Amino acid sequence: MNLLRWLVFAVAALAMNFPVLSTLVTSFKSEAEIASNPSLWIQSPTLANYLDVFRISDRFDILHYLWNSFASSILGAGLSLLLAFPAAYALVRFGTGRKWLLPLVANLRAIPLIVFAIPLYLVYARVGLLDTRLGLALILCIVNLPLVLVLLVAALRDLPVELDEAARVDGASTLTLLWRIILPLAGPALATTMVLGFVYAWNEFLFALMLTTRNAVTTTVGASFFFAASGGGVRWGIAAAVMVLSVLPPMVLGLLLYRRIGQSLASGAVKG
């Protein structure tokens, strides 16, 4: 019975991770081998594709895409935490906005994002935020807010209220209390939330596709450029290497922090 369980686990893990595994294998094959040998076996492994990725950076600059993804994701996730942390405290301790703000933001998760994409595109075009990392980060913040707020509310709810009361007796203002007492206590929860927000932002595609064209193109959109066959068809080896580089940061974070991420996702999903 246990053997059967291991078998099921192996099949499930392989099938679900198959796209990444297969792409990883392809990225170590030469262009010639990719054409002659599509199997999962590599006859003569090579790093040529990874070197070529950087060699064609005058046309497709992968480092630039990765930097854009990194900067806008950090900014977007950080901003969502900055906005949601004080709000979560007010929701939990004072009950302000519990009737409307929390359901509004939590339900945002169920709204198709395309609804806001068109007007934001038009507004962005007028105020000069189109194709900027800042403009993208502001949207990534919105994308992250439902999960971030729900997670932070759950985390703050678990903190004992006695700490607040003790600090109040000592005459601390709300801001001091928030900064000196709650922030350090909620540190681990904030860190996990930040990582999740970063991963979500990194993986976002729709807004990056609509709102960036050149300067702020992220890696999810940039990777698709390598598939636009321009003379001589798609160079599959390079495309595979680009995708491996693009999925590496969130996958490494996921492997390192799987336990915390798993708990957060499970609880955040059910409460949201």
Partner 1 sequence: MQSRHLRDGRILLAPLTIFLLAMLGLPLVVDLIYSVSRVEFRTILSPEFVGLANYVSALTSESYWQAAWFSLRFGLACAVAQLLLGLFLAIFLAPLIDKRPWLLAFLMLPMMVAPALVGLMYRLILHEFVGVVPWFMFTYFGDSPSFLGPDNAFRTLVVVEVLQWTPFALLILYSAYAAIPKDVREAASIDGAGPWQRLWRIDLPLMAPVLGATFFIRFIDSFRVFDNVYTLTGAGAGGATTTMSIWVYEAFFKSGDIGRAVAASMLLLVAAWAVLAIVHRLSERRA
Stretch near partner 1 under the rule CB under 8 A, chosen from 8-16, 52-60, 152-160, 180-188: 8-16
121-150 footprint of partner 1 as x/- string (CB under 8 A): xxx--------------xx-xx--x---x-
How far, in Å, CA of 163 to CA of 185, rounded? 10
Q: Which is nearer to partner 1, 230 or 263 (CB)?
A: 263
Q: Which of residues 182-241 bind partner 1 (CB under 8 A)?
A: 199, 202-206, 209-210, 220-221, 223-224, 227, 236, 239-240
How far, in Å, CA of 172 to CA of 165, rounded? 10
How far, in Å, CA of 161 to CA of 245, rounded? 45
Minimum distance from CB of 136 to partner 1 (Å)? 12
Distance in angstroms between the alpha carbons of the first and the last residue of the chain: 36
State whether the Cα torsion 128-130-132-135 is positive or negative: positive
By CB under 8 A, tell whether 120 contacts partner 1. Answer: yes
Q: Which is nearer to partner 1, 64 or 225 (CB)?
A: 225
Residue 240 to residues 53, 72, 183, Cα–Cα distance (Å): 10, 24, 42
Q: Which is nearer to partner 1, 56 or 114 (CB)?
A: 114
Q: Which of residues 51-70 bind partner 1 (CB under 8 A)?
A: none
How far, in Å, CA of 89 to CA of 91, rounded? 5
23-52 footprint of partner 1 as x/- string (CB under 8 A): x--x-------xx--xxx------------
Stretch near partner 1 under the rule CB under 8 A, chosen from 3-11, 57-65, 154-162, 183-191: 3-11
Minimum distance from CB of 91 to partner 1 (Å)? 8
Given 48, 83, 159, 185, the residue binding partner 1 (CB under 8 A) = 83
Tell me which residue has tokens 């075009």.
125
Minimum distance from CB of 204 to partner 1 (Å)? 8
How far, in Å, CA of 178 to CA of 124, rounded? 34
Helix-then-strand count for the chain, H and E: 16, 0
| Half-sphere exposure at residue 11, Cβ-oriented, CA atoms within 13 angstroms | 6
Q: Which is nearer to partner 1, 47 or 122 (CB)?
A: 122
Given 95, 160, 231, 232, the residue binding partner 1 (CB under 8 A) = 95
How far, in Å, CA of 80 to CA of 17, rounded? 30
How many residues interact with partner 1 (rule CB under 8 A)?
96
